[in-house]
Amino acid sequence: MTKPTYTPVNSYPNMAKLVCKDYGYDCAFEVEGDSEEVAKKFGEHSEHEHGIEYSKETLTKFMLDNNY
């Protein structure tokens, strides 16, 4: 409820979105789609571009916390 600018994707329960700058990076990267794909792509991006490796569990938690 604290992030009113995002459109819910309730019709796609497995859809998720991660936006890099939400996690403190000065970076325009974002990925949206199936939650498995989002976790994989965001994980690869953050590892390669920022040197941070997130576990799949962490990324899943990010997506759950987002309420995109």
Instruction: Report the candidate in 5, 21, 20, 25 with the shortest Cα–Cα distance to residue 67.
Output: 5
Indicate whether 25 belongs to the interface with Zn ion (CB under 5 A): yes
Q: How far is CA 64 from CA 30, 39, 50, 58, 61, in A?
A: 16, 11, 22, 10, 5
Binding flag, residue 29, Zn ion (CB under 5 A): yes
Q: Which stretch binds Zn ion (CB under 5 A): 5-13, 31-39, 49-57, 59-67?
A: 49-57
20 binds Zn ion (CB under 5 A): yes
Q: Does 9 bind Zn ion (CB under 5 A)?
A: no
Contact residues toward Zn ion (CB under 5 A) are 20, 25, 27, 29, 49
